[in-house]
Homo-oligomer: A and B are copies of this chain.
Amino acid sequence: MSEKKTKVAVNGYGVIGKRVADAVVAQPDMELVGVADVVNDYRMKTAAIRGLPIYAALPEKAAGMREAGLSIAGDLDDLLAQSTVIVDCTPKGIGAKNLERYTKAGVKSIFQGGESHTLTGHSFVAQANYESAIGRDSTRVVSCNTTSTVRTLVALRSAGLLKKARGVLIRRATDPWESDHSGIMNTVVPEPHIPSHQGPDAQTVIPDLEVVTIAAKASHTQTHNHYWIVELSRTVEKEEILDAFRAAPRIAFIRMSDGIVALNSTIELMKDLGRPRGDMWEVALWADVLTVNGNEAYYTYQVYNEAIVVPENVDAIRALSGVVSDAHESIRITDTALGMRREFLIQDAPGDKK
């Protein structure tokens, strides 16, 4: 079956790129052709130790990479020549410059949420609009916060429950590995504009979603934390809301009663579960905090920004390449390969068997 595997390249081996690379390797129907980057520090050296073929994204960087002891398999053109789909995980703004090159090489391309919707004209969340991406030349996987917003609100909408949603997004300030002038300390920094960009960004996927987001950065480095006030289309019982989330993919329940009482206990849980890099691809929603008050629901969840978009990138590969035409089938393959869960702490949870 090897000859049927989709040949995938990753350009940009950073926070997202290295995780997409791992996820591609884990898929039964994909082959990671190689990863391209420009740096020669610990990130690429660990890629080498892990045995990944390394390409120089810029020819002028190849010498420095070789001097640092990296074995360079070729340049970006060499990588493109072998690939069917490339996942561009370069820093914000760089991707936009790469699109034309990918197109010329006849390689389909996936961009991240840092790029604008207009770059590809299509923004992607698997459960919301997989079908519309089938056969396209390119798409953009929306950012972590937007992905979680679409996953949860589409769950409520699919159950006929959503009227309008107002979210307060307390973002992590920088990534946990950053040490050079990127953090905030002992403060909260509100976004100066309301609505923040995440609400409109969700509308690039679902144009008529009635959503407003307010965002701020807080003084922690791991995972965003959302608080939602949702007006429902009718008065419901709490269990109906939970069922709506259960019926949707990539939302998993955590509970205060299990000692998962804060963002960092969820992170410890991921380590305890043996997740690679401690990653959490699911939206982790506190089932026992969710409250229904007449026709309003209030809930909070956690978004592991370093990993949550990884499964969407994997699905986007299948959609663009056209090898799987059904969203549910692609989601099933992706989630099984990664070992995703519906309940983090219940053994053999029904959701996990699907």
- Using a CB–CB cutoff of 8 Å, the interface residues on chain A facing chain B are 18, 39, 41-43, 45-46, 48-50, 69, 166, 168, 170, 173-174, 176-190, 192-195, 212, 214, 216, 218-222, 225, 227, 229, 256, 258-265, 267-269, 271-274, 276-278, 286, 288-291, 293, 296, 298-300, 344-347
The smallest beta-carbon distance between A38 and chain B, in angstroms, is 13
Contacts of A216 in B (CB 8 A): 170, 225, 227, 300
A22 to chain B: closest residue by CB:
B274
**8 Å CB contact of A272 from B46, B183, B189, B260:** B46
Contacts of A179 in B (CB 8 A): 184, 187, 189, 261-262, 264-265
The smallest beta-carbon distance between A16 and chain B, in angstroms, is 14
Q: Which 10 A-B residue pairs are closest in the complex by CB-CB distance?
A: A41-B259, A177-B268, A179-B262, A183-B183, A183-B185, A187-B264, A46-B272, A168-B168, A194-B291, A189-B262
A69 to B346, CA, bound (A): 8
Contacts of A346 in B (CB 8 A): 69
A286 to chain B: closest residue by CB:
B190
Q: A42-B265, A43-B259, A177-B267 are in contact. Are A218 and B185 (CB under 8 A)?
A: no
Q: B46, A269: Cβ atoms under 8 Å?
A: yes
Contacts of A178 in B (CB 8 A): 185, 264
